[in-house]
Amino acid sequence: MSKALITTQYLTDIANAIREKLAVATRYLPSQMAEAIRSIQGAPSEWQGTQEAYDALGSYDQNTTYYIFSPLQSILITHQPTKTSYAVNDVLDLRGIEVMATHGDGSTSNVTNYCTYSPASGYKLQTAGTVTVTVSLTDCGITVTATTSGTVEA
């Protein structure tokens, strides 16, 4: 079974089109959209079944699990890397770091493996002082960042 990601913006666009065609201000849940589309006067008769209505919305496939995506709001480093103190010429080791994302609907998800780290693990620390690691995540054109730091001793 395949999976598909549907953005909240995509669903909003569909709902706005339904409202425009029906000249109503109704709020639609995703589960109500197929029926609303079938009620549009002049809608093709092949839209009379649920699958056909979904086909018109974007290639519905009964073997696909559809997920509604809520836009990325922020990321938070919930566990610091195991190693935060280094000597000059050690390499940066970010093992143990955990990054959680918060989405527009308030849900959270572990995104540790989807983030970009700069500098990345393996970077040679050549100068004493504080090393700041910027953690970035870009999803559907939205980029959010967080930082963590460690100490490099001479």
Residues of the chain with CATH 2.60.40.3630: 72-153
* pLDDT given at position 48: 43
* pLDDT given at position 69: 54
Cβ of 6: how many Cβ atoms within 10 Å? Answer: 15
- Alpha carbon 136 to its chain's center: 13
Q: Which of the pair, 37 or 117, is modelled with greater confidence?
A: 117
pLDDT at 130 over 50: yes
DSSP class of residue 40 equals S
Burial of 43 (0-12, 13-18, 19+ CB in 10 A): middle
* pLDDT given at position 138: 86
Reported confidence tier of residue 134, pLDDT bands at 50, 70, 90: very high
pLDDT tens per residue, range 40-85: 766 555 444 444 444 445 544 555 554 455 678 899 999 999 999 9
For the domain made up of 72-153, give the CATH fold: Immunoglobulin-like (2.60.40)
What CA–CA distance (Å, rounded) separates 32 from 52? 14
pLDDT tens per residue, range 83-122: 999 999 999 999 999 999 888 777 788 889 989 999 999 9
The answer to whether 103 and 73 are in contact (CB under 8 A) is: yes
Burial of 34 (0-12, 13-18, 19+ CB in 10 A): buried
What CA–CA distance (Å, rounded) separates 61 from 68? 15
Q: Which residues fall within 8 angstroms of residue 65, CB to CB, at 6 or more apart? A: 1, 2, 3, 4
Say what the pTM is: 0.58
Q: Which residue has the tokens 């308030």?
A: 106
